[in-house]
Structure 1
Amino acid sequence: MTSSPSQSATKAPSQPLPDAKINGSSYASTSSSTLTFMASETAQFESLTLSVVNIEDSRCPTGTACIWAGQMIVTLAVNNELNEKRQIDLLTKREPKPISALGYTFSLLDITPYPKEGQSIQRSDQKVTLHIEK
């Protein structure tokens, strides 16, 4: 799958770190970055390889009335250059719940597109936005 212009890593001011790459496109990164990538693709961030294993999106679909706003859960496989591997579950209800692995802290910010009533969304159409801190 090719990189699209909407994929990005947004940098926050702080000390610079190596680049992030999504499908060969480099993005400057810092010790705190926001990274958006297609859920069906593998992303590179510094020395890490990130892959989405599973997505659970129970947010209240547009066009419905819900008692509960729902939540987002992304199971993420994280590998580093030493071939250390971790699988983490990133949870966001009202606020993201940060999870640490391999020297980084990850938070799930968003999954797009937002659910709509009567519409099935394939993982290949979903984008995941993460906040990553070293």
Structure 2
Amino acid sequence: MKKLIILTFLYLTCFACETKKDEAPEIQEQTVSAPYRKSTSVTIQGQALIVNILELNDSRCPINADCIQAGSVDLQLSVSDGTNKVNIPVSFKSDSKASGHQTFLLGKQNYSLVVHEVLPYPITDRKPDPEEYKVNLSIEKI
């Protein structure tokens, strides 16, 4: 009886130590900084996408002012994979975690786009030139 218990214990121990090789690799989100009206390449699982910021309307409250509302940045982005192209409207509010997120279909693949930050932040005595803007974003397959 002892031998049976010991053999069963050893048998179970061998299977408990076995590693799983079939697990899918964890997808890491890549954040890129896209300058205004300049092409930026984003690589997602070996697929290169080109992102362009076509339009940018910044109505955020200046950093050194007191405002009733925080405002937002309205963006018009273009995403292309070389064959297909799609225009994506995105509204980003820095005080809301739910804003700046958009899903889109490019070819036959669905993607998720998230705007994390838009820089520079406006100040009261100077409006940034459009060429100064950079949009930190990430795209992933869904």
Structure number with the higher strand fraction is 1
Aligned to 2:54: 53
CA-CA distance at 1:70 after TM superposition:
0.7
- Whole-angstrom distance in 2 between the partners of 1:39 and 1:45: 15
Question: Residues 106-132 of structure 1, C-alpha deviation per residue, up to 9 Å, x if partnerless?
Answer: 011111111000212111111111122
State whether structure 2 residue 131 is matched by structure 1 residue 124: yes
Partner of 1:43: 40
Identity level (%): 26
Deviation at 1:74, TM superposition (A): 1.5
Which residue, out of 28, 33, 36, partners 2:30?
33
Matches within 5 A, 1:2-81: 14-15=26-27, 30=28, 32-46=29-43, 47-81=48-82
SS in structure 1 of the partner of residue 30 of structure 2? strand
Q: Which TM-score applies when normalising by structure 1?
A: 0.71
RMSD of the alignment, in Å?
A: 1.7
Give the match for residue 98 of structure 1: 101
With normalisation by structure 2, the TM-score equals 0.67
Q: Which ranges in structure 2 are unaligned for 5 or more consecutive residues?
A: 1-24
Contact kept in structure 2, 1:90 and 1:106, CA below 8 Å: no
Structure number with higher helix proportion: 2
- Matched ranges for 1:100-115 at <5 A: 100-101=103-104, 102=106, 103-115=110-122
- What is the aligned residue count? 106
Note if contact 1:74-1:108 (Cα within 8 Å) is conserved in structure 2: no
Task: Return the alpha-carbon distance in structure 2 between the equivalents of residues 69 and 88 of structure 1.
Answer: 23
Greater Rg over alpha carbons, structure? 2
